Amino acid sequence: MLRRFLSRKLHVLADKTFYKLTENVENPALKKKLGMIDYPYPEGMYIAISLTAIALTFIISFIASFLIFNLVMKSPILFFVPFIAAIVAAVIALIWPDFDLGRKKKTIEANLPLAILTMSTITQAGAPPQYMFQTIANNPEYPRLSKECQKIQRFMNRLGLSLTKAIDKMTEITPSPAFRTFLKELNTTVKSGGDLREFMAKRAEDAYFKYMMMLERAAERAETMGEIYTILMIAAPLFIFFTIMMLNMFSAGRLFGLTINDVLFYGIFVGMPLANLIFMFVMYLMSAE
C-alpha cells in the first residue's frame, strides 16, 4: 500500500516537472525492456521518474546531512553524502529495468512447474487448451506468469488471433527461456494434432521432478545463508569491536586518524546497518516472488 502510494506521488511529481523535457524521448531498447516487465508508462515517463527520484534523493540526503552536521557531529564526510546518494540513485535507475527483467524471468521459472501441474490437470479433464491459460491468468498465486497468460488471452480476445498464433506472439516477448520452450512445444503439439493429454502428462512429470529439486536447492541455500549471516553479522562485528578496544590501549586513543568513539560510532550506526541492508539485498536477489 505504501509502495503504491509513493509510486503514484512520484509519478505525479515527475509528470509536472521532468516529463515535459523527456516526453518525446525515444529509446527502443528501453521501450522493449519496459514492455517485457509490464511497465505501464512510456520510456519518457520512466526517465522523468528516474530524474525526479535522483533529485529527491539529493535534496533529502542534503537536508539530513546538514541537520546531522549541525546537531550531532561536524564531520566533513557528511558533505559528500548527498552526491554519493544521488549517484547511487542514478545507478539504480539505470540497472532497474534489467534487474526487474531478470527477476521476472526467475519468478516465472520458479512458478512454472506448479503452473504446468495445474494446466495438466485441466487438460486431463478434457478442457480445451485455451482454458489452461485462462486458469493461470486468473490465479494470483503466479503473479508474473499470470500476466504472461493474460497477454495470450488478450491476443485472442482483443486482436482476434487463434490460440496457436497468440502463443507464437507470446514466445517472441516472454523473457523466460523455460516458458518460451514450453510454449513452442505445446504449439507444435496443437498444430500437428498430437495427443495434448499425453504431452501435458509428460510435462507434468518433468515439472514435479524439477519442483522437488528446486525446493531442495532452496533449503540448502537458506541453510548456507544462515551460516554466513551468523559469521558476518554477529561473530565478525564482535571480534572487530573487541580488537578495536584492544588497539585503543596501544594507539593513544586514535585509530586511522579517528578517535575510538568515532570508529565505534561509524561501525555501529553506519557499518552494521549498511552491512545488514546489503545482506538483505543479496537475499532479495536470490529469492523469487
Tell me the DSSP string of 70-116: HHT---GGGGGHHHHHHHHHHHHHHHHHHHHHHHHHHHHHHHHHHHH
Q: What is the pLDDT of residues 207-257, one digit of tens each?
A: 888 888 888 887 888 888 888 888 888 887 888 777 777 766 666 566 666
C-alpha cell belonging to residue 242: 573487541
Q: Are 180 and 168 in contact (CB under 8 A)?
A: no
d(CA 255, CA 252): 8
Rounded to two decimals, the pTM is 0.74
d(CA 268, CA 92): 26
d(CA 226, CA 166): 44
Helices vs strands, H then E, count in the chain: 13, 2
What are 255's strand-pairing partners?
258
* pLDDT-wise least confident of 138-147, 180-189, 213-222, 238-247: 238-247
Pairing of strands 254-255, 258-259: antiparallel
Helix 81-124 vs helix 43-71: angle between axes, to the nearest 10 degrees? 130
CATH numeric code, 105-214: 1.20.81
C-alpha cell belonging to residue 218: 532452496
d(CA 52, CA 15): 9
- The answer to whether the Cα torsion of 139, 141, 143, 144 is positive or negative is negative
Asked if pLDDT for residue 203 goes beyond 80, the answer is yes
Which among 182, 143, 70 has a CA at the least distance from the CA of 170? 182
Give the pLDDT band of residue 1 (cuts 50, 70, 90): low
Q: Are 91 and 53 in contact (CB under 8 A)?
A: no
Give the pLDDT band of residue 64 (cuts 50, 70, 90): confident
Distances, alpha carbon 226 to alpha carbons 72, 74, 88, 222, in Å? 35, 38, 28, 6
Q: What is the pLDDT of residues 86-129, one digit of tens each?
A: 999 999 999 999 988 988 998 898 889 989 999 999 988 888 88
- The answer to whether the Cα torsion of 2, 6, 11, 12 is positive or negative is positive
DSSP 40: S
Distances, alpha carbon 32 to alpha carbons 44, 172, 174, in Å? 13, 11, 11
So what's the pLDDT on residue 55?
Answer: 93
| Burial status of residue 105 (CB atoms within 10 A of its CB: 0-12, 13-18, 19 or more) | buried
Which among 260, 239, 264, 256 has a CA at the least distance from the CA of 248? 260
| Mean pLDDT for the stretch of residues 21-25 | 86
Give the pLDDT band of residue 83 (cuts 50, 70, 90): very high
Helix 2-16 vs helix 43-71: angle between axes, to the nearest 10 degrees? 100
| Burial status of residue 113 (CB atoms within 10 A of its CB: 0-12, 13-18, 19 or more) | buried
| Mean pLDDT for the stretch of residues 32-39 | 87
